[in-house]
Structure 1
Amino acid sequence: MRRPTTTRRTVTTASAVLALTLGATACGGSPGPASGKELSGQTVTVAGVWTGSEQKNFKKVLDAFTEKTGAKTDFVPTGDNVSTFVGSKIEGGNAPDVVMVPQLGVLQQFAGEGWLAPLSQQTATTAGANLAQVWKDYGTVDKTYYGLYFKAAHKSTVWYSPSAFEQAGVAEPKNYAEMLKTGRTLADSGLPAFSVAGEDGWTLTDWFENIYLSQAGPEKYDRLAAHTLPWTDASVVAALTTLGELFKDKQLVAGGSEGALRTDFPASVEQVFGPAPKAGMVYEGDFVGGIAKDEFGRSLGKDAKFFPFPGVGNGKAPVVSGGDAAVVLKDGKNQKAAMRLLEFLATPEAASVWAGAGGFLSPNKEVDPASYGDDTTRATAESLVRAGDSVRFDMSDQAPAAFGGTKGAGEWKLLQDFLRDPSDPKATAAKLEAAAAKAYRN
């Protein structure tokens, strides 16, 4: 899944954070890599999918690295198909030194191709102190630690209009059934419950994953993600049945299924927080808040709020996440400086640069919550860190791209078909299994 770019007000400059970092180290705080200009004259090439404000804010992190070490950096946009971009660069003898990998399946592919260098012991040690074990596990392939998770997304947040809730006389729901009841009350007051971005298939995978994780539990979630549990399993049919209850209810889905299938993700946020609201809630990750604020002038915590995706039945509230991992390519021209960059990215100081700039969550538990620029983002970040090892990585991002990450194919298309007609969950599960079996076999 490709997450959208968000833009937020810059509240902490890279140089300010760096000054605090060096001061903390001098006063006996947790030291990062040794300071100095030992890499002067060297250049690290970093490739990633980020554009717009995400790229701008990541460059603030790279500037802090330059100030710390003297190494210059060169950021190269990959486009959405990171695998194709990196493969062509390696083949052409012009591989970047570091790649920010947005999908777990792609990280595993790179490791399988033999493209990655293991992370340095210093990076592993720093990450061991600062990250929950689950993030290190996701960065590890065949017992070798290759990927440092630097940026995360909290994909278990339901965003709503407080004024719509107030008008309907409802409060934040505490469980899934209550959420649907709240939605129907919203509809009775004149506003459909959810704006669903059905035109973008990845949002539908996120709906499914949150329901499945809560209803089936983490063990089955892990097995389904690895395709050691078939999609025809009764737990998948049960989750699709639960999701279908929402999809088939025109009170709950703004514009019904056909309207949802014509709504892309940015439009789904606009339908809740734009000038002419068409729904009271929109489910997606923490990045919804950035769009509500930057595109529609909403004040986070005042006229744009969120509640955690609620537990289904007797299940726990899920915490699904995505993330971007930094890896070092063997074929890069400056492996020493590349490793040094990852040692820096493993520190809370590096994460604090982007946290202050906005549009960012860090899985690093040592990042000071005060680094975040507003209370809502701070609460989201704290929720993600507090979840610890119960976090589960976006399932579609773990799958081969042919199944979990291709427009008009695989899981994206089949869940769009299910949104259009959710009457037969068992048949949809069978189609998902056929598509998954083919993709994992290849």
Structure 2
Amino acid sequence: MRTNNSIRTGRAARTAAVVAAGALALSLTACGGGDGDKGGKSGAQDGGKTATTVTLPRLDGQSLEVAAVWTGAEQDNFKKVLAEFEKRTGAKVTFVPAQDPIINFLGSKIAGGAPPDVAMLPQPGAIKQAVEKGWAKPLGAEATKELAKNYSAGWQEIGSVDGKPYGVYYKAANKSLIWYNAQVFENAGADEPKSWDELLATAQTVYDSGVTPFSVGGADGWTLTDWFENVYLSQAGPEKYDQLAQHEIKWTDPSVKEALTTLAEIWGKKDYVAGGPSGALQTEFPASVTQTFTGGDQPKAAMVYEGDFVQVNIAETEAKVGTDAKVFPFPSVGDTAPVVSGGDAAVILKDSEAAQALATFLASPDAAVIQAKLGGFLSPNKAVDTSAYPNEVQKTMAEALIAAGDDFRFDMSDQAPQAFGGTPGKGEWKALQDFLKNPKDIAGTQARLEADAAAAYGG
């Protein structure tokens, strides 16, 4: 999950939820229910309350394809949402697994004359690219109406190009969380840190207890960009963050040097990263999570950084969120703790009644409630009753996300052109993988980042 080209509309770039980081509760409670009827209208039931509903047309005999890069539980859970759409409309929906970068995947499909009807795009820049290439179709009246009713202006903006709505941000993510093995912390006498210096002290306490402090999924370059963005946003501040996201300042700027120097305090510390740099570079994101919560109080690492969606991978272990697996906000490096957000937007590639109906459904709370109950999911849809979330961790994060309204920023690499911020083995992903391998080469890393950014942004 990650949720590219820059979005200038509204400047403050409405892109990274500055969600109140201190609002995270860690206890778990079970939440109930959901429903949908056969006809075009159905209510999502939660705790006896009926959420706002949407009327959908009957689409018997029609079919459509939906492409996304989602795998595993994330894909399975989304298929349940699509199954409800099928039940309510009579349409047949096929999920098409896509590869990263999805723009390249879609390009090959379009060149072959077989594009999917709808694609879930994980970058604002990818939406812009799809519009510029003439692939994306504007949202129709019903989808736009549902979007306007259920989303803040900020979330509507990042799915729009030149003021016209193209994307429905169905899924959001709080990407400023550090998850930890509670038993390891208890054994070590470690506390949840609130500042970067405290994080370093906690890491040393864990290391002294005999457990490697951090698990890093370095095989997936996007996890490394997320690390950088959290440090940079907190340390350099939102104005610099906006400037770097738009390439209005260069990657050779002193603020980037400072952030890389800070990152090296963990990435460059001997034995602080599970498997060392080479091992981390061979560890994919899902494994970086599971190895933190497998092995009881002697896992391969005590902590793993990533977003709320980590819960999906924790579920693959025997650890329980809230007891065995706990979480704290990414500590403040500067004056304010960061919270970076990402998201995935539904974009129509083949304009049909069925595709427009699916976009309308995904813009409604009915769709989001289904996946919210399954865990590992946050919706920016303000009409979703937060009682749908299966535990207090996600419920609190969802409430904070909605409370942020339009005061948010998006994942920086997802605002960049795909060639720089979203392509395996290239651009920012590759430069930061090389930096993880050699954290002493700060100047060289900055030079490579700037050269790649200049080429991708066009100068």
After TM superposition, the score normalised by the length of structure 2 is 0.85
Distance 1:370 1:262, change over 3 A: same
Offset, 1:18:
9.7
- 2:231 counterpart residue number: 211
Structure 2: distance between partners of 1:142 and 1:206: 28
Q: Deviations over 1:92-145 (max 9, x none)?
A: 433322211122222111011122222123333332332233322211112221
Q: Deviations over 1:22-61 (max 9, x none)?
A: 387xx996644335x5333322332222333323322221
- 2:443 counterpart residue number: 426
Q: Which amino acid aligns with 2:374?
A: A
User: What is the 5 A alignment of 1:184-263?
Assistant: 184-250=204-270, 252-263=272-283
Offset, 1:10:
12
Distance 1:171 1:23, change over 3 A: closer
Q: 2:301 aligned with 1:279, yes or no?
A: yes
- 1:166 counterpart residue number: 186
Structure 1: distance between partners of 2:35 and 2:414: 31
Q: 2:328 aligned with 1:307, yes or no?
A: yes
Q: 2:375 aligned with 1:358, yes or no?
A: yes
Give the SS at the match of 1:305.
strand
- 1:292 counterpart residue number: 314
> Is the CA contact 2:174–2:342 (under 8 Å) kept in the aligned structure 1?
yes
- 1:396 counterpart residue number: 413
- 1:384 counterpart residue number: 401
Give the SS at the match of 1:185.
helix
Distance 1:247 1:302, change over 3 A: same
Distance 1:372 1:244, change over 3 A: same
- Stretches of structure 1 that go unaligned for 5 or more consecutive residues are 4-8
Structure 2: distance between partners of 1:344 and 1:211: 37
Q: 2:61 aligned with 1:34, yes or no?
A: no
Offset, 1:157:
0.8
Larger helix percent = 1
Distance 1:422 1:131, change over 3 A: same
Give the SS at the match of 1:127.
helix
Give the SS at the match of 1:286.
coil
User: What is the 5 A alignment of 1:24-103?
Assistant: 31-34=52-55, 37-103=57-123
Q: 2:359 aligned with 1:338, yes or no?
A: no
Q: 2:166 aligned with 1:146, yes or no?
A: yes
Q: Which amino acid aligns with 1:279?
A: A
Structure 1: distance between partners of 2:34 and 2:442: 50
Offset, 1:246:
1.7
Offset, 1:209:
0.7
Give the SS at the match of 1:273.
coil
Offset, 1:89:
3.2
Q: 2:282 aligned with 1:268, yes or no?
A: no
Distance 1:20 1:268, change over 3 A: same
Q: Deviations over 1:348-394 (max 9, x none)?
A: 11100111233322111221222122333333333433343343222
> Is the CA contact 2:35–2:42 (under 8 Å) kept in the aligned structure 1?
no
Structure 2: distance between partners of 1:435 and 1:258: 24
Structure 1: distance between partners of 2:375 and 2:324: 19
After TM superposition, the score normalised by the length of structure 1 is 0.88
Distance 1:375 1:393, change over 3 A: same
User: What is the 5 A alignment of 1:399-418?
Assistant: 399-418=416-435
Distance 1:18 1:62, change over 3 A: farther
> Is the CA contact 1:164–1:280 (under 8 Å) kept in the aligned structure 2?
yes
Q: Which amino acid aligns with 2:171?
A: K
Q: Which amino acid aligns with 2:363?
A: A
Q: Which amino acid aligns with 1:305?
A: K
Structure 1: distance between partners of 2:332 and 2:38: 38
Match of 1:112 among 107, 129, 132: 132
Distance 1:18 1:363, change over 3 A: farther
Q: Deviations over 1:308-335 (max 9, x none)?
A: 1122121x22121222111112xx2x52
Distance 1:249 1:89, change over 3 A: closer
Q: Deviations over 1:209-231 (max 9, x none)?
A: 11111112222222212222211
> Is the CA contact 1:180–1:246 (under 8 Å) kept in the aligned structure 2?
yes
Give the SS at the match of 1:389.
coil
Give the SS at the match of 2:299.
coil
Higher relative contact order at CA 8 Å, sep ≥6: structure 1 or structure 2?
2
Offset, 1:422:
2.1
Distance 1:168 1:390, change over 3 A: farther
> Is the CA contact 2:195–2:331 (under 8 Å) kept in the aligned structure 1?
yes
Aligned length: 430
> Is the CA contact 2:380–2:402 (under 8 Å) kept in the aligned structure 1?
yes
Q: 359-368 or 342-351: which moved more?
A: 359-368
Q: Which amino acid aligns with 1:285?
A: G
Structure 2: distance between partners of 1:303 and 1:277: 12
Q: Which amino acid aligns with 1:441?
A: G
Q: Which amino acid aligns with 2:340?
A: V
Distance 1:28 1:311, change over 3 A: closer
Q: 343-352 or 121-130: which moved more?
A: 121-130
- 2:43 counterpart residue number: 22
Offset, 1:245:
1.7
- 1:126 counterpart residue number: 146
Q: Percent identity?
A: 53
- 1:6 counterpart residue number: none
Structure 1: distance between partners of 2:253 and 2:99: 36
